[in-house]
Structure 1
Amino acid sequence: MSLNDHLRHWLGAWPPREKLHVVGSELRTLPGWDGHVLPALGVGGPEGAVLSVPPPHVARVAAARSPQEVPALVGYGERSWFQAVYRWTTSPAPLEDAGEWLPATAPRVPEWLHPFGGEVLVAVDPGTGEHLAGVGIKRHDAYGHELSVVTAPAARGRGLARRLVAQAARRVLDEGAVPTYMHAVTNAASAAVATAAGFPELGWTAFGVAER
């Protein structure tokens, strides 16, 4: 599997044919990994970007003067436009494992990890059993799985997040998919975790209509 396979399936087309290639995809009308619809979703790199929207809205979105117009054009005017840094890896950092894979419904798994389903990666304090950090996997399709990590405030600064992200990325690759990672442009802490875990910043972005 490759990143191209994932983006072609997730967006409906890849690579882009122009600086901003607006395409129609029925996937933009269907619930995603968490049951929410993303009515406009795009990924862009140095050679251009693909913005995926429901087929009936392609012409209007392509003619939009500003990204901020897009939520209303696709029928979700109450939502905002988002932009994030988009990363992926095929060579995670060789960091020591830091967590244990558990079913998302297991008693020791914190509530925020429940929506991911399947198995999630959890790090706990060996003495107290207290949850320290965890990674959930957004299984967008068979080709690309996005990692989401959260560390408890008291456990930050120990390098847990980067170890967990690298560990989860190795698992995704073993399953035949490409691990991806997204973070807000201004989130320096998340950017540092991604870089340390082996997800380089290559000038790519993800953008679209926010879930809420």
Structure 2
Amino acid sequence: MSVSESVQMYLLTIYRLTQEGEVAPTNARLAERLGVSAVSVTEMVRKLHEKGLILKKRRAIALSREGERIALNVIRKHRLAERLLVDRLGIPWAHAYDQACKLEHILSDEVANSLEEFLGHPATCPHGLPIPDRQGCIAPQPETWPLAEVQAGQRVVIEQVKEGSVELLNYLVEVGLRPGQEITVEQVAPFDGPLLVSAGDRSFPLSREVAGKVAVSERASGQEGQLSDP
């Protein structure tokens, strides 16, 4: 099914809200996230329901199988585009996200599949987020938790970094916080104070807010991670 960019954005937003823990997003949450009027959301939700792309139960909204397939296909194209921009074109990963947002809506399935082969079938985007396969399936991911919850003395591996502001991502790159990087939490200040983190021979403080945007695991040292050049 061929759908417009506007429809894709609504389906993506519903998918992301669900992934963030909202079991069933509402019209109000869609309007808030997309920055559009309640009237616009109501009209689009009606159209999506008529096309069989969403399911509705009272105020709650969920993606149908076809709606989820479309959302995952756009996510696949976005994350492959990010890999191309960062790994092959040398675009800083802090700037690649916005550019990939434009490419995700214009890449055909054929081009996306060829791009995947050209890039060597990457498992994740530069942020460490999984790239869905051609069937829209996502490989099992390691159990993760926020770096902000790690105790002093614990050594962990960065799995994912949430997409954020350019300034934040540039700082994370500067201090070496990238997917695949092993780090140790040296100190945790009380009363929601900063964490002192070390990577190699470098140590640096991180606020709880920043640490909350970094997902880590206890993946054993030596396992491969998706690293990319700045």
Tell me the TM-score normalized by structure 2.
0.24
Larger Rg: 2
Which structure would you say has the larger RCO, counting Cα contacts within 8 Å and 6 or more residues apart?
A: 1
Q: Which structure: greater helix fraction?
A: 2
The structure with the largest strand share of the pair is: 1
